[in-house]
Amino acid sequence: MLEVEKKKSEIKYSVLCPLFSVFCLLVFFGCRRAEDTSYKPEVITTKTGIEMVAIPAGWFLMGDDNGAADERPAHKVLISAFWMDKYEVVQEEFRKYQLPDPSHFKNPRNPLERINWTDAALYCNDRSRAEGLEPCYDEQTWQCNFEANGFRLPTEAEWEYACRAGTTTKYSFGNDVRKLKTYAWFAENSSGKTYLVGKKKPNPWGLYDMHGNVAEWCNDYYSESYYKQGPDRDPKGPAEGEEKVLRGGAWNSSADSCWSSYRASDPSLNDTCLASDIIGFRCVRTALNTAITLPSPDGKEDTMRMDSTSPLGTSSPQVLKTGFVYDDIYLEHKTTPGHPESSQRLVAIVERLKASGSYSDGFDKLTTRLFVLTPGPAAMEWIETVHSSHYIERVKVSCENGTAYLDSLDTPISEKSYEVALIAAGGVLTAIDAVMQRKVTNVFCAIRPPGHHALSDRAMGFCIFNNIAIGTKYLQKKYKLQKVLIVDWDVHHGNGTEAVFYDDPTVLYFSVHQYPFYPGTGRQAEKGSGKGLNYNINVPLPAGSGDNDYLKVFREKLEPAALLFSPDFVLISAGFDACKGDVLGGMNITPQGFAQLTQIVKSIAEKCCEGRLVSVLEGGYDLDVMSASVEEHIRVLMRDPALTSTSSVESREPK
């Protein structure tokens, strides 16, 4: 019986898969993922002496459209943070709990094998009890309680996510099969047996033997068609089945069967006589205690765990921080006395963050929660992607000559305004670089002067250079991203941004604004032209519109259009002058309303482009309500529900 089952498993592990095509997968989803293995995992040792690796939360592309039938379709999956054993469970660890060692290839530091699924789950429970944790498995039904804080077997999605470690190639080390011998024990180098764990190179996240030594049990029941119907967030497999999933290569596997996406299964659920000596396992543990709320496509709130304090009494699995672009140079753009677009706007934001209980240590220590980014001036080649060289020179000369206003009386300038405007645009580019280089998850840019009214050859509406438009061109030219979504919720229509991309189908510009109002553009009939027709969406709203009106627009108009467009990057023209009490606007959005709008846009970025998002300050002139709204906006970007505001801001009625 053992030989029959062993041969059956060996056949499963010998199925040949077609060549993996990253390009086809990325085109299919419309959302490109750069190979990124820069995450350096935290490794801890548990009370019982076992090393575990912190696996960060994130999206990944699961499966392979060019693989075997059960690997299709490739689909994007969001995985919550968890801890995973650095090595496969070895024989001496298994024997600690008075469990009989069924292994064929005996050695204390060799992986345990010939283990059935139920005994692997029993070991998880025993190990949990030994560390004073709640066991995950009901030992009558063997159902897994994913809310328990003990050890369990990984879900199939968790296993592939950890194995890939940020890669989209056939193996976690790339596509070159010749390198497999340095990472795995498989048919070509194993001489028909297992070996000591950890003797080959680890994957980029520090996990050993993922591609070969023994195949590993997962928690899921196996279904060939599960990828066609499984959820996109922490999938846990079918509710029932006859076999459990196996993942990873084994000592008898072909090279193709060691691919990250390769799936297999085995029927040895509770009978050791059926268990094969190519099957072992490793444990995981959910990172508990922190949840975020993401809006689902139907508008209902969907809470899922993303990151946490450490379940093991150490620091948490690393999740990239939110970036914060700011520099005192932005205060040097001087406007006329009493002008609403003054340096006090940024002072109010910074002071608000200092005074917040979340930032009680002061702005200088914001790095405990935010990754502070220092901007530099944008290079002229990027400014010229939006503005004419003649206009740029005119701005420079006007500032040097002490001219009081640029093009209109609503745009006062000062001696340093040209320099500051270059650094405002540069702040957006700094933010984009930080996101694209995976230094941060997303960024808020506390910059001025604002930009969305600036035209290619004219300043207007307090704006000198169009920061958002320049950032969009930068994304497309430097990083070769094909599609950019711009969401503009400033109370005023972003006529300058609309003009730049009006005939461009690679940019979806979505603006919701008060109408009729300055600058007089933004009618619903303005839908783009030429190839850009229908890629310009204006949603004019009457004065007095509030949270519910905006949320309805975002859920019914923005979400469907954005998800269909499937952007590679999301930019927000984040004007907070639609807040209740703003001295210029006439809308009634609350700080909590802006938080909800942020959730929706952030969810779009997470679904389409791995959360890549940069938010850029535009308007907002009531200092109290504007700064409170910015704080709520940043709280959502930071993914930390513990930062929910308990303060209230008394707002004046709109003037």
Q: Each residue of 58-71: pLDDT tens digit?
A: 999 999 998 999 99
Any idea of the CA torsion for 41, 47, 51, 55, to the nearest 10 degrees? -30
Is 305 or 518 the better-scoring residue by pLDDT?
518
Give, in order, the Cα–Cα distances in Å from 421 to each of 20, 379, 459, 576. 46, 12, 11, 20
Strands 263-266 and 244-247: antiparallel
Partnered with residue 488 across adjacent β-strands are 511, 573
DSSP string, 85-128: ESSPPBHHHHHTTT-----SS--TTSBP-S--HHHHHHHHHHHH
Q: What are phi and psi of 234, to 5 degrees?
A: 45, 55
Nearest to 277 by CA among 211, 156, 192, 155: 192
3-state secondary structure 499-515: HHHCCCCCEEEEEEEEC
Residue range 363-413, pLDDT digits in tens: 444 435 788 899 999 999 999 999 999 999 999 999 999 999 999 999 999
Residue range 329-364, pLDDT digits in tens: 999 999 999 999 999 999 999 999 877 744 434 444
Kindly provide the residue ranges of all beta strands, DSSP E only, lying in 379-445, ordered along the sequence. Answer: 405-406, 408-412, 442-445
**H/E segment holding residue 22:** helix 22-29
For residue 629 the two structure tokens come to 């709204």
For residue 79 the two structure tokens come to 């995985």
Cα separation of 401 and 415, whole Å?
Answer: 8
- Residue 337: cis peptide before it, omega within 30 degrees of 0: no
Are the C-beta atoms of 214 and 89 separated by less than 8 Å?
no
| pLDDT at residue 415 is higher than 70 | yes
Cα separation of 175 and 166, whole Å?
Answer: 14
Which pLDDT does position 39 carry in this prediction? 60
Nearest to 432 by CA among 395, 404, 381, 469: 469
Is 302 or 514 the better-scoring residue by pLDDT?
514
Are the C-beta atoms of 125 and 259 separated by less than 8 Å?
no
Mean pLDDT within 519-544 = 98
| pLDDT at residue 207 is higher than 70 | yes
Which pLDDT does position 368 carry in this prediction? 53
- Could you give all domains of the chain from N- to C-terminal order, each with its CATH number? 2-13+25-289 (3.90.1580.10), 320-643 (3.40.800.20)
Are the C-beta atoms of 55 and 83 separated by less than 8 Å?
yes
Mean pLDDT within 587-606 = 97
Question: What's the pTM value of the predicted model, to 2 decimals?
Answer: 0.55
For residue 290 the two structure tokens come to 């922190």
Which pLDDT does position 147 carry in this prediction? 85
Nearest to 5 by CA among 280, 241, 272, 282: 272
What is the edge-to-edge ordering of all strands in the sheet holding 215-221?
263-266, 244-247, 215-221, 279-280
Which pLDDT does position 289 carry in this prediction? 36
Residues designated as active site: 453
DSSP 337: T
Mean pLDDT within 483-487 = 98
Residues ≥6 apart with Cβ < 8 Å to 454: 387, 460, 461, 463, 464, 465, 466, 496
Least confident of 100-109, 208-217, 302-311: 302-311
Residues ≥6 apart with Cβ < 8 Å to 130: 47, 48, 96, 97
Residue range 112-171, pLDDT digits in tens: 999 999 999 999 999 999 988 889 999 999 999 998 889 999 999 999 999 999 999 999
Residue range 114-125, pLDDT digits in tens: 999 999 999 999
Are the C-beta atoms of 23 and 152 separated by less than 8 Å?
no
